[in-house]
Amino acid sequence: MSRFVYGSLLAPEVLNALLGRVPDRTPATLPGFVRRRIKDAVYPAIYPAEDPSSASVDGEVLTGMSRRELAVLDWFEDEAYVLTRVNVTFDEERELSPPETVEGTEPYLDPSIVMAYVFTSPKDLYGVWDYEEFRREHLGSYVAMCEAFAEDVEHNDLPGDDDEPEDGIGDEVK
């Protein structure tokens, strides 16, 4: 599965701190959602817009990740987010193609399935989140926090510890 990212995970430095590398990234837009600041946080949240016809969120789709890398990102996200399947549009004419699937299995690593972390408590959201402001004011300390997180989970038993990037079929997302 691919991940649509729209906030701190847009920063290559953050991805590198969490995963030890920067996965393939493709600019994309998520229609029908809004991105907002979260009270007492430096990262943003998205949630469905009241008027979906006039709302969208720009971001990127991350692909080429192993099950373990997906699990690290999933674990990194706050429990106030729900991993949700979304339909994105790409800035260029591009489709994510699925790997070969085995009949009767769930294609956990199917890159054409795009998931996003959707916030569950819009009452804590306000204003507009600004990526450049995040980079300018918070990136250094945020990367340090991500490096500490990655070190903490490095020796944890996570799904996909033995898998190769996007070439297998596996279990469903949490």
40, part of any domain? yes
- Assess if residue 82 is contained within a domain: yes
Contacts of 154 (CB under 8 A, 6+ apart): none
In the structure, what pLDDT confidence band is assigned to residue 99 with cuts at 50, 70 and 90? Answer: very low
Does residue 102 belong to any structural domain of this protein? Answer: no
Q: Verify whether residue 147 is a known catalytic residue.
A: no
| 160 occurs within a structural domain | no
Residue 26 forms part of a structural domain:
yes
The answer to whether position 101 is within a domain reads no
Q: What is the pTM of this model?
A: 0.81
Long-range contacts of 38-42 (CB under 8 A, 24+ apart): 38/119, 38/124, 38/125, 39/124, 39/125, 39/126, 42/8, 42/134, 42/137, 42/138, 42/142
Rounded mean pLDDT of the chain? 83
Q: What's the domain range around 142?
A: 2-96+108-153
The residue among 73 and 96 whose pLDDT is bigger is 73
Any idea what the CATH number is for the domain that residue 85 is in? 3.10.490.10
> pLDDT tens, 31-56?
999 999 999 999 999 999 989 899 99
Catalytic site residue from 13, 60, 69, 77? 77
Give the chain's domain count.
Answer: 1
Residue 114, pLDDT > 90, answer yes
**pLDDT (tens digit per residue) in 76-93:** 998 889 999 999 998 665
**Band of residue 110 on the pLDDT scale cut at 50, 70, 90:** low
∠ CA 85-88-89, nearest 5°, is: 165
- The reply to whether 163 falls in a domain is no
In a domain, 167, yes or no: no
Among 6-10, 33-37, 98-102, 110-114, the range scoring the smallest mean pLDDT is: 98-102
